Every structure is written in structure tokens, then in C-alpha cells.
Structure 1
Amino acid sequence: MPRPALQGPTFVRLLARLTDAEAARAALVPADRLSEWIDWTRAVALSKVLDARPAPPDAPGTPSAHDPDAACARVRATLAQAIASAPELATPQPGAPSDDANLGNTASDPAPDFAPLRQRCLTLQRAMQAAAGRLRGELREMLAQRSAQAARLAEVDAVMEGALAPRESALLGAVPALLQAHFERLRAAAADAEPTVHDAWLDGFRRDMQGVLSAELDVRFQPVDALLAALRTP
């Protein structure tokens, strides 16, 4: 019986397709579980920010010489290119020499190894986390100079980032393990299949991993996009 179509963000739907749709479906509405994600100390801090009278904006600093939209777009494009050009995720072109030896796929060891893929995944995740966090802080500083309401929004975002960071880290930290399970299932299914010039299953996995990482990039940049939208508001 086919599994029912899963609704929700692309990132969630991709992981559900590669793993267990039922497990993913339970996490589709994070707002319903927000009270479980924020401990009471963070909830008190958030309440204080929301209830406080808007403070005057910070004194304007030196005007920024760069366009925040363009700067964020450049960082995002750089990260997207890093995902697209990762050597471990390159799909061999017909007639071109294969780099599968980097995954342990040699005549003496025909079974590819997930270890290089895991390391690449972790490296890209760290880069995304660092870049999104840095941009988020810079955009909050810009908001704090706009108006009292913009400054309050910046404070709320700072509190929410601190409150949700542990949960986000735990959820996104599970991605390498989910990808590894998918990798091992594909490899096991292909073990008895007729050999081909290139391992079709491995090429398919590479595309799946790139899709998941690209969707994760979108998720990590959602707060950045929201702060950019706030900066565009007159």
C-alpha cells in the first residue's frame, strides 16, 4: 500500500521519503510543540521582551557600505555552490574516470564507505550554521538602529535563537545518521543486483544527499530571510 503524501517543508518531506514518513509526520507542526522546546527560563526571558515597553533604538552607527540583501545572497550562493561541488557528491559523467575510489569503491574493496560522506555532511552543516548565525546577528544589529519596534523584534529573535538552538542542533545533528541509514539500505539492496559500469544506487544517493543539504540550507536561512524582510519594511 503506498504511503500517503506528506505535507510540509521540503526538508521534512525529503527526510521522510528517505526514512520513515510516520516519524516525520509527527514533527510537521513545530508550533504545536513549542512549549516542549522552550524551557521555563527561556520562556520568562521571551515574556519579558514581549511585555516590555519598546526601548528607543540604538544610536545609529556608521552606515553600512553593503546591501544586506546582496550580502546574504552571496553567502547563501557560496554555501549552495559548496554543496553542489562537493567532490564526494560528484556524479561521474559517462566516459569520465570515476572518483569512487575516494569512497573505498575499488577492485579490492567494492563496497563504498560512508565515512567520507559523513565528514563532508558535517563540514557543510557547520559552515551553514556559522554563516547563518553570523548573518542573523548582523541583521539584528541593523534592526536595532531602525526603530523601537524593530529593536524589539531583534531582541525577540535573539531570545528565540537561544531558546531553540539546542533543539535545532539535536534535530539537524541527526541528519548524518539518517543519511547513513539510507546509504546502507541502498547499498544492501544493490549487493545482489547486476553490476553496471557505474553504481547507479550510489549516484542516486549522492543526489539525495545534495537535495537534503540544499533543503537544510533553506531551513537555516529562514530566520535570515525573515530579518531581511523586516529590514525592508518602512
Structure 2
Amino acid sequence: MTQPPADALLFDMPPPPTPVERLLHLAGEYTQHNDALDLLLRATNPPQPEAHTACAQDLATATTAAIKAIQGERLYESEELTEAVVRLRQLAFLANASVELSAGAARELTALGPEAAIASAVMLAGEFRRRRGATAPTPDARLGAVHRAALAEIACGHVVASSSLGREFTRSREPKVLMSTLRVLETKGLTERATGSAPAAYIGGPNLDRVRLTPTGVTALASVLGLPAAGSSSAPAATPRPLPTAAQAAARNR
């Protein structure tokens, strides 16, 4: 079989993720980490002390890499950009600090990781559009206001799915993400379900399916972040809840 020329393969390589896309992916990694900790904490046998350490270290490394990617864009300083970077530095510190704690205390430190990463992504996307409007990504025409809001909630780790008696349903925060909306997003290849990866809604119940963005979904959401609000919100608020401190989590664990 004839192999294509090496230089031809270069054109088939996808472009590297933008800093905004990197943050959306990072939020998904924090959600997966938190879900894994929740399942460990609900397991019959107590979790091993080091069960979460490798993943926590990876999160700290990935968060630091996201900060460097933002700094590599060489944007002029602004309050919004500074806040986004500082929040990510706090997040990297908390992920690294969680390595030394028990699984329960570690879970508290990374609890708001997805929201913090998305909030920074929203701020950064707004800065890119304000300063580099001519080169900003073109909004995905497939996404209406409801779809944008749903993707944002999914990116924050707020949406799970399950079924009972042959009927599928979703669980989410406000704004609610309906099953009909989720099916549309899945048909477009923007989201997927990780079977049994999220903790049950009640003790003894079945694990739920975490809804996640696909790589295509990450690109689609990144294309609409930072747009002026019109009608329904298309992105999570840029000011998330305060992150916990390592001392607070350690105190609760005593």
C-alpha cells in the first residue's frame, strides 16, 4: 500500500487548541476528577490515601499549562485578564494542595474547578473579541440561545442523564437542560454521555451518566463565548463562587 508523502500528512493535523478551548477542556478534566472522587468516597471500601494524587497532580500541571498558553498570547493587561489568570493560579494551587489531603478534603478543594475554568474562559473569550475582533472565531450557526446555554451548563459539569422505566431524563441546575435539547446536541455531535461516571442521586441508586462536551462541542462553545448577551444567557456568569482555601478543607477534614 502506497503511503502518502510525509509533507501531505502535515495538512491533516488539526490546529492546536486555542487558550479558550484549552480552558473548556480543563473544566471537563476537573469534572471527571470530581466525579471519580465522589465514586471513591461512596464505595464500600474506604479509598486509599493516594487514590487521587496522580490525577490531582495532572490537573495542577494542566492548569499551569493553560496559564502559560494565555500568557503566550501577549495580550495587554486588563482587570478581566488579570482576574482570569489569578483565578487559574488559585485553582492550580488548590489542585496541588489536594495531593496532601484525604480524598474527602481533596474533593472540596477541586469542587469549583469546572466553574472557575469556565469563568476564566468567558473572560478570556471576551478579551479576545474586544481586542482581536477581526480574527475572533465565527459563531457556530447551529447554536441557538437554548443550545448555547445548555453547552455552557454541560461545560460547568452541571448536567447528568439517566433512565428509569424506559424513560430518559436529565438532572441539571438552572437554566434546565431538557432531554430534548440534549438529544439535539448529541445528534450534532457536540455532547456525549459517560455511562455510570457520575455519583447516584440517592444512596443505593444507580450511577448517573455525566454529559460531556465532545471535541467538536468544545470548538462550538468556544466560538460563542464572549458574545454580547442577547435574550437568554449563552454562557455561565463570569464571577463564580469563591474558591475554597486549602486551610478550610483541611480544617473540615479534622
Task: Please confirm whether the aligned pair reaches a TM-score higher than 0.5, indicating the same fold.
Answer: no
Q: Normalised by the size of structure 1, how large is the TM-score?
A: 0.28
Greater strand proportion = 2
Greater helix proportion = 1
Q: Which has the larger radius of gyration?
A: 1
